[in-house]
Amino acid sequence: MGIWYLLLIVGLCWAQYNPNTLLGRTSVVHLFEWSWADVALECERYLAPHGFGGVQISPPNENVISDRWRPWWERYQPISYKLCTRSGNETEFRDMVTRCNNVGVYIYVDAVINHMCGTNAGAGNHGACGSYFNAKTENFPAVPYSVWDFNDGKCKSRSGDIEDYHDIPQVRDCRLSGLLDLALEKDYVRSKVAEYMNHLIDIGVAGFRIDAAKHMWPQDVKAILDKLKDLNTQWFSAGTRPFIYQEVIDLGGEPITGSDYFGNGRVTEFKYGAKLGTVIRKWNGEKMAYLKNWGEGWGFVPSDRALVFVDNHDNQRGHGAGGASILTFWDARLYKMAVGFMLAHPYGFTRVMSSFRWPRYFVDGQDVNDWVGPPSNSDGSTKSVTINADTTCGNDWVCEHRWRQIRNMVVFRNVVDGQAFSNWWDNDSNQVAFGRGDKGFIVFNNDDWAMDVNLQTGLPAGTYCDVISGDKEDNRCTGSQVYVSGDGMANFQISNHAEDPFMAIHVNAKL
């Protein structure tokens, strides 16, 4: 009896950290601002065939329509928990979840539960579903919330907004950028939030990104999570708990840390993209040789508590965390190297970004168009994601997850899952290589000179297709080949002028 009880407790403790992806699928992709109809199609036609484990979607609940320009950030200003946004209605949402789940690609909801809309949102029916609200009187009848359900009385700052990030109660009880801060210590508010999240669980979602978790008390988040149901047994084993990853921006230097939230689930490790961008840009004397102890050795949270990414929807625009070092699709050559490194390295659970283009315009170092919403038609509706003949996307959807180099590294991570970090090599500069047991090997040349080295791969002898320059098709390579000899050695030649100055091989790409 005792040992079974212990195993049950251990299982429950691990539950919210487990991504719930199918065995052999190790990454999710954030299809930022995609419609539910397009997400469903992408699950079926692309994500499932290429081994993606899931999709992080934009917030699905009703938000304020701020103005006719429809900025992306309006999705982070809720006015109700009705499933109705520019991505689609509840019927379309249900169809997406069912279709994606049926092909083994699971849905992770961006849950905005810290706050409602901003104080300047006015009053009226200008919500995505037409629900009435009054931000000034803090009245949201579609939930319903009233003035008693917000933290105005607890906030001790002069303005009512967060003014000092070194004051923990202020960060968690005051308004983030004017957004009405919910009183999550009240059981009524906790129950309304849990009711919303449980509705999504009933539909079939696999987990949640908890937006602005840093601005909630960890015990309040826990109280909400304790009210959540197990996942829908139509797709998940009985007793499966939702995967939880919490947005906690912790770059060091503030009293609130990611570790405050470990009891609830994983946390977003923002230091990861900020540091990796600095290294690959070769700023501040950094070089790739220093990545040998990447992960906890760099002061990151433990690997089994980390959700990692090169960029996200905030910091690719200069918001959030990381500053100018963050690599994005605008820096395609370096970005592909960074994402390749992330997907090859065993640290953390990986999320790939899939963006839309916007008309960047810098004034005094600031992008004044950082607010621009998704590609839209003249009536404000979101444009569909069109697919070009070469499998890239049209209509200003970037679709980094479809770039061959990134797609193939998602597969690489699946192939090497569970294998040890091995056979590290570096030239004490910016040429590095490492393996994952006897399943995969990756090599980078980020120096300003050519690379020609013989390296121990740890792989079985044979001819391998480099999955960065091409694919394995019909037992031939469309890109470069790598010959591994009987002792595991191979020669790698990478020009510093190459379009993609890195190579990767794995056992599933062996001829």
The catalytic residue positions are 211, 247
User: Where do runs of H (alpha helix) occur along 251-322?
Assistant: 270-280
From the CA atom positions of the chain, what is the Rg in Å? Answer: 23
Contacts 24+ apart (CB under 8 A), 375-379: 376/70
At 456, list the tokens. 């121990």
d(CA 87, CA 199): 18
Residues 6+ apart with CB under 8 A from 471: 404, 408, 465, 477, 478, 479, 509
d(CA 73, CA 117): 10
Diameter of the chain measured on Cα atoms: 74
Report strand pairing: 179-181 vs 266-268: unpaired
Q: Peptide bond before 501: cis, by omega within 30 degrees of 0? A: no
Contact (Cβ atoms closer than 8 angstroms) between residue 316 and residue 450: no
Burial 253-266 (b: 16+ CB within 10 A, else e): eeebebebbbebbb
Contact (Cβ atoms closer than 8 angstroms) between residue 289 and residue 430: yes
d(CA 102, CA 13): 28
Contact (Cβ atoms closer than 8 angstroms) between residue 38 and residue 385: yes
Q: Is 395 exposed, middle or buried (0-12, 13-18, 19+ CB in 10 A)?
A: middle
| Among 10, 21, 11, CA closest to 239 | 11
d(CA 251, CA 219): 22
Report strand pairing: 243-246 vs 133-134: unpaired
Q: Measured on CA atoms in the order 166, 226, 57, 186, is the torsion positive or negative?
A: negative
d(CA 27, CA 200): 21
What is residue 13's DSSP assignment? H
For residue 366, the tally of other CB atoms under 10 A from its CB is: 10
**What 3-state DSSP class applies to 505?**
strand
Residue for token pair 């959540």: 228
Contact (Cβ atoms closer than 8 angstroms) between residue 19 and residue 71: no
| Among 224, 199, 230, CA closest to 210 | 224
| Among 339, 219, 232, CA closest to 276 | 339
